[in-house]
Amino acid sequence: MFLSSFKNAIDLILSGDAATYQAIFLSIKVGFTATAIATIIGLPISLILSTKQFRGRNFLITIFNALMGLPSVVVGLLGYGLLSHNGILGMLNILFTPTAIIIGDVLLGIPTVVAIAESVLSDYHKKIDETIKTLGVSPFKGQIVLLKESIYGIMGAISAGFGRIFEEVGAAMMIGGNILGLTRTMTTAIALETTKGEFARGVALGIILLSISVSVNIALQWFKKR
């Protein structure tokens, strides 16, 4: 069954099937957009947590680490409650739209970016903090130096955030609605097509999903070597 489905999946990819490529392009758009937003929000938070001492700091770090394992269906449930017509944000009318999926994915990605980046930045901060103080570097320039020194670790945090976002299905299904041509991503399409018995289409999307994830990680590894 797998061999036959794999052959049919390759044929489906090469045929340029519209529904398949709509799901692919939407997944890429949503995945990269949500990762960028999660990084823009999460990186400053991780920088503050790794360089500042204040009451509740350890508690926040613990919370972000715990939220790394937050089930995507819980985010979907929360998002549905907020974005539905009876919800607090119902007036925005963005439920079952790509925007809603991006919001849910950002909420999933931020804890991963913050937790991993904070750990990396904290280690580097301990190593170079005394040197920075000795040289009389301003706090702002010191943070720039810290970011440059830990860039590879930060890229790893972003990569982990991308993986968390790109491969989730629960939130996308619940607040996106899995609408053909509008909010159907690769992960939701795989779940749907498999339950319908369209195993070849599910395999085709799975091949593309895996290929993109591997390609992103290869690109990051290449960047590290450069």
Model pLDDT for residues 10-44, shown as the tens digit of each residue: 877 788 778 888 999 999 999 999 999 999 999 99
**pTM of the predicted structure, to 2 decimals:** 0.90
Residues in the chain: 226
Model confidence pLDDT, tens digit, residues 131-160: 777 767 777 788 888 888 888 889 989 999
Q: CA 134, 136, 137: angle at the middle one, nearest 5?
A: 115
Instruction: Give residue for tokens 């301990």.
Output: 126
- Domains of the chain by start residue, with CATH: 2-225 (1.10.3720.10)
Is 101 within 8 Å of 31 (Cβ atoms)? no
